[in-house]
Structure 1
Amino acid sequence: MTEILAESFKVYGRDDGGPFVLVSDHAGQAIPPTLDGLGLSADERARHIGWDIGIDGVGRRLADALPAVLIEQVYSRLVIDCNRAPGHPTSIVTQSDGTVVPRNQSLSMQDRAWREQAILHPYHQRITQELDARLAQKRAVVVVALHSFTPVMREVARPWHVGLLHNHDSRLAHIMIDLLRAEGLVVGDNEPYALTDTSDYTIPLHGEQRALPHIEIEIRQDLIAHPEGQAEWAARLASLLPQAWRIFCTRYEQRP
């Protein structure tokens, strides 16, 4: 594989001095031209298996509203999942939710390494650069990972409007859960997924290993599939995230 790709990430919003750094691991749908759509139809690639439906619109609107910087992955998670550690069994899937991915079958180590070097590592290096610059200025930093989840998985309906995922440091997540439930929402506590040392990569790497306050948010896709829902959720998070951070700082004597 010798194809040279454009940058694997885009940066939106602006740094206005606030603490939040937004990251979106599955916002993109791009596939390198030499992979020929991974052998999938456009309809298959557009399903939830290919990207986090609606989170691009939520993330960009949220970046404008806070305001904050958003670092967004542009390639499909079917090419390589940027929320998985290199070499993880689900980093490059051979099938997803019943769909076989033809161009991911029997990949060579060279092909795997190329996807990591061209897509995975530059994205995480850009996040590292953003965090390093702020910490060098001795600023407070909060890592916010934005995701969305399919409302039905393996014929099982998922009732949550939103889920908050956490592992070693649950403080900010629990504050946000309370604020969202106060709005009358059905909120998953480590649902529909749980954050663990091995299931995720972004929060363990950039939040937990650095001991930075962090939060991983999963919004149900049918709620944000259209611009109106994206705007609603961006406005909600733009209101609640600063509230959660103020509560966190007061409760845990953190410098805001």
Structure 2
Amino acid sequence: MNSNVSQSLLTTEDTSPVRVINPAGASSFLLIGDHAGKAVPARLESLGIGDADLSRHIGWDIGIGELGALLAERLDAVFVRQTYSRLVIDCNRSPDQPDVIATVSDGTLVPGNAGLTEAERAARFAEIHAPYHAAIAAELARRDALAMPTVVIALHSFTPMMSGPMRDQARPWQIGILHDGGDTVFAHALLDVLRREPDLTVGDNEPYRMDLIDYTIPRHAYPARGYAEIEIRQDLLGSTADCDAWADRLARLLPLALERAGRI
């Protein structure tokens, strides 16, 4: 399959790699969705795995595209979201990370990612990865030029169960907040307000840690911009009603955290 792929990846059949929802949003929050979409460029022929696997958690962050749009409306926030599947290229990985174009994901082989030439890899970076990050950088520059305060909120979702050695266990957290370097004041304030919700089990750098693997937040928020990476369990985002409920909750709690962090 790869031998038929030219150096140019996207065609007129394909959609833009990045969408900016509510571009005139006035909120202090900038929402981003690294894994919000599950599209695959036509030339990659579904990566050889088909829609059933692309619709699983390995293909995208289930619910985040819908949640982000709903939250953007409630907060009057800008939402910058990726269109293509994380299996085409993972926009939350740096170019030198081995899994930026994964050949295996959670035990599933991805034939369309095997044996890529340098030109094929370069096309995915140039036409999908780079435009997405350029859109985030452009929005941050626009806001800075207008002296708009900004807290970057990266929206992600996680599977209730992850397979593999030492990983076959249920994940009890409904939501987790990831943070590491840079300005973590807002992330800790958000943890505080979430822990006041009696029905939530809140993960502090659970089920994942933000570390050197993460790319988007360190690139765009460090060293001094407030941020939080939010992870919501995917079985709680399975319907529009679920996404609505989380959008309502986060639209209520994010401004409280902003106030608690002293950013307003």
The TM-score with structure 1 as length reference comes to 0.94
What residue in structure 2 maps to residue 191 of structure 1? 206
Answer whether contact 2:103 2:111 (CA < 8 A) is retained: yes
Question: For the Cα contact (< 8 Å) 2:9–2:123, is it kept in 1?
Answer: no
- Please show how residues 102-181 of structure 1 align to structure 2 within 5 Å: 102-154=111-163, 155-168=168-181, 169-181=183-195
**What amino acid sits opposite 2:122 in the alignment?**
A
> Do the aligned partners of 1:161 and 1:186 also contact (CA within 8 Å) in 2?
yes
Residue 26 of structure 1, aligned match among 35, 39, 42 = 35
Question: In the alignment, is residue 83 of structure 1 matched against residue 103 of structure 2?
Answer: no
C-alpha distance after superposition, 1:226-252 (max 9, x if no partner): 111100000111111111111112xxx
Aligned twin of 2:230: 217
Equivalences, count: 249
Matching of residue 57 in structure 1 with residue 66 in structure 2 = yes
Distance apart, 1:170 and its partner CA: 2.5
Quote the offset at 1:44 in angstroms: 1.1
- RMSD over aligned CA atoms reads 1.1
Q: Deviations over 1:194-226 (max 9, x none)?
A: 001x211110001114x2111100000000111
Deviation at 1:174, TM superposition (A): 1.3
Residue 226 (structure 1) aligned with residue 226 (structure 2): no
Contact 2:91/2:100 (<8 A) preserved? yes
CA offset digits 1:128-152 (Å, max 9, x no partner):
0000011011221111100000001
In structure 2, do the counterparts of structure 1 residues 84 and 137 end up closer, same or farther at CA, with 3 Å as the change threshold?
Answer: same
Task: Name the SS for the 1:21 alignment partner.
Answer: strand
Partner of 1:9: 18
Asked whether the equivalents of residues 14 and 67 of structure 1 are also in contact (C-alpha less than 8 Å), the reply is no
Deviation at 1:71, TM superposition (A): 0.6
SS in 2 for 1:71: strand
* TM-score normalised by the chain length of structure 2: 0.91
**Residue 87 of structure 1: how far off its partner (Å):** 2.4
1:66 offset after TM fit, Å? 0.4
* 1:245 matched to 2:258: yes
- Quick check: 2:21–2:69 contact (8 Å CA) kept in 1? yes
Which amino acid counterpart does residue 237 of structure 1 have in structure 2?
L
